[in-house]
């Protein structure tokens, strides 16, 4: 059973009956007691209250996952009025902040800078943490492009990629491209921020972000865009000494090969430079090629 929908042991004003309560304690004309999930009889009238509580809990958690935090706060307040400040309600105490409409009227950078530490310090269960993350992303994507959010606060990259990988979106946006562009911008995301095993494996490698963008392309995790005419008109710079700059040059060479035919001198020069930069990755490129954007 999903832990967020488990029944509370009892409600205020109700004492749970013991399982071996004898017939002397009950109306002999009453039917059998209902049994809860723990195998314990439930008093008449208590089951209906538990059902109403579970329904409100379900509505609250569903609203969180959709990013409707104002609605979730209303359900939380109703649950507190019914049963008091239970453990489940204390776990979602951060709705008192996230459920205020003005929290979301600020620039995304301010929202994320307030959100991330509050969520991290909330001690939320794994299930609730996932719902909060999905709700955050769903809410922000209503008004902002993913790349803008990552540029504002790089720490949101993992939740964004995870959400976009599972969301039923008609936009056709490839979440892998978001990770690719973040690596090319020099970001160094943590592997454990991502749900996709292929991303976790890639980011666990001991390489700089530019090289990881190249390796991800060679593993066909994301496409490689063609170089434009301006890039092709410029000569390749000398091989750099800095390892990260070498990775960026390898990426630029892959882009040149995507724009040039196999017998094109520009493509041949780019492939030769790739071999100078990393012979192993060049060999992988020659064997399997790349995805075209």
Least confident stretch, 114-118, 229-233, 257-261: 114-118
Determine contact, residues 244/251, Cβ cutoff 8 Å.
no
Determine contact, residues 280/288, Cβ cutoff 8 Å.
no
The pLDDT confidence band at residue 13, using thresholds 50, 70 and 90, is very low
Structure tokens at 92: 């979602």
Tell me the average pLDDT across 77-93: 86
Structure tokens at 180: 């690719």
Least confident stretch, 33-47, 54-68, 138-152: 33-47
The confidence score (pLDDT) of residue 7 equals: 41
| Residue 114 CB partners (closer than 8 Å, separation 6+) | 97, 103
What's the rounded Cα separation, in Å, for the pair 81 and 281? 62
More confident residue, 46 or 67: 67
What's the rounded Cα separation, in Å, for the pair 231 and 234? 5
CA 78 to chain centre: 29
Task: Specify whether the backbone of 113 is left (phi greater than 0), alpha (psi in -120 to 50) or beta.
Answer: alpha
CA 115 to chain centre: 14
What pTM did the predictor assign? 0.73
The confidence score (pLDDT) of residue 8 equals: 40
The confidence score (pLDDT) of residue 257 equals: 95
Decide if pLDDT at 266 tops 80: yes
The confidence score (pLDDT) of residue 135 equals: 92
Least confident stretch, 38-52, 184-198, 225-239: 38-52
- Residue 292 backbone dihedrals phi, psi, to 5 degrees: -90, 135
Determine contact, residues 108/144, Cβ cutoff 8 Å.
yes
The confidence score (pLDDT) of residue 39 equals: 52
Per-residue model confidence as pLDDT tens digits over 101-118: 899 999 888 888 888 787
What's the rounded Cα separation, in Å, for the pair 63 and 88? 15
Give first-to-last CA distance, the chain, whole Å: 43
The confidence score (pLDDT) of residue 50 equals: 57
Closest CA to 7 of 47, 61, 65: 47
Average pLDDT in the chain: 83
Per-residue model confidence as pLDDT tens digits over 145-168: 898 889 888 888 998 999 998 875
- Residue 194 backbone dihedrals phi, psi, to 5 degrees: -115, 145
């Amino acid at each position: 059973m999903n832990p967020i929908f488990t029944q509370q042991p009892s409600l205020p004003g109700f004492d749970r009956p013991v399982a071996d309560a004898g017939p002397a304690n009950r109306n002999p004309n009453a039917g059998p007691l209902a049994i809860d999930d723990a195998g314990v009889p439930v008093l008449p009238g208590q089951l209906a209250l538990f059902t109403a509580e579970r329904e409100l809990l379900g509505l609250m958690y569903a609203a969180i996952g959709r990013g409707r935090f104002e609605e979730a706060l209303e359900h939380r307040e109703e649950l507190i009025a019914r049963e008091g400040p239970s453990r489940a309600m204390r776990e979602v105490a951060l709705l008192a902040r996230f459920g205020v409409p003005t929290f979301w009227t600020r620039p995304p950078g301010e929202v994320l800078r307030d959100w991330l530490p509050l969520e991290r310090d909330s001690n939320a269960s794994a299930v609730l943490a996932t719902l909060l993350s999905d709700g955050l992303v769903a809410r922000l994507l209503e008004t902002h492009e993913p790349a803008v959010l990552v540029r504002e606060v790089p720490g949101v990259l993992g939740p964004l990629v995870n959400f976009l990988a599972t969301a039923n979106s008609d936009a056709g946006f490839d979440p892998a491209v978001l990770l690719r562009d973040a690596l090319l911008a020099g970001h160094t995301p943590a592997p454990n921020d991502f749900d996709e095993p292929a991303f976790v494996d890639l980011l666990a490698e001991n390489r700089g972000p530019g090289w990881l963008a190249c390796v991800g392309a060679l593993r066909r995790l994301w496409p490689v865009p063609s170089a434009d005419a301006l890039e092709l008109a410029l000569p390749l710079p000398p091989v750099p000494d800095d390892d990260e700059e070498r990775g960026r040059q390898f990426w630029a060479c892959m882009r040149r090969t995507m724009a040039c035919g196999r017998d094109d001198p520009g493509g041949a020069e780019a492939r030769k430079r790739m071999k100078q930069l990393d012979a192993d990755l060049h060999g992988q490129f020659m064997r399997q090629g790349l995805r075209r954007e």
